[in-house]
Structure 1
Amino acid sequence: ADHARSAGFLAEPKNKVERCTTPVVVAGDFNLISWASDKSSPNVDRVRMRLFNDCIADLALREIARLGARFTWMNK
């Protein structure tokens, strides 16, 4: 992922969801995290995390609870 483009990437679904007049489900692998504890390593970009959380809050999105393993993948 090219994280230099994260702000522009988040602007696209934000613009689309804000224009919707009916309920919408947003799904996908955004390759972004909401919380430092979501990461398996201590390397956290807090500015990017804040951008993602601001987008989630602005759109009043809610995460669907996940059952099972803590992470969907790890590179170890």
Structure 2
Amino acid sequence: ADHGRSATFLTELKNKVERCTTPVVVAGDFNLIRRASDKSSPNVDRVRMRLFNDCIADLALREIARVGARFMWMNK
């Protein structure tokens, strides 16, 4: 995935959610990770991970825990 626009995406998401005047649910596959342990390889972009976690914290979002497999997909 091209993460060249991840920061822009998170800024847009934050702006949209902050403008909401009613409760909101944010859901989707953002192709971003919260923790290094969420990845099946050691290649972790900690800056992008921090941006994602900061966005979640700033918006006071809560993650719904997955049940089942550790990863959603693998390259093998």
TM-score tier after normalising by the smaller chain length? over 0.9
Structure 1 residue runs of 4 or more that deviate by more than 3 Å after TM superposition: none
Residue 23 of structure 1 corresponds to 23
Residue 68 of structure 1 corresponds to 68
| Superposed CA offset, 1:37-65 (max 9, x none) | 00000000000000000100000000011
Tell me how many residue pairs correspond in the alignment. Answer: 76
Aligned with 2:5: secondary structure?
Answer: helix
- The code of the aligned residue for 1:2 comes to D
* Deviation, structure 1 residue 4: 1.5
* Deviation, structure 1 residue 5: 1.1
When the two chains are superposed, the root-mean-square deviation of aligned CA atoms in Å is 0.7
Residue segments in structure 1 that go unaligned for 5+ positions in a row: none
Identical amino acids, percent of aligned pairs: 89
TM-score normalised to the size of structure 2?
0.95
| Superposed CA offset, 1:2-58 (max 9, x none) | 212110011111111000111111001101000000000000000000000010000
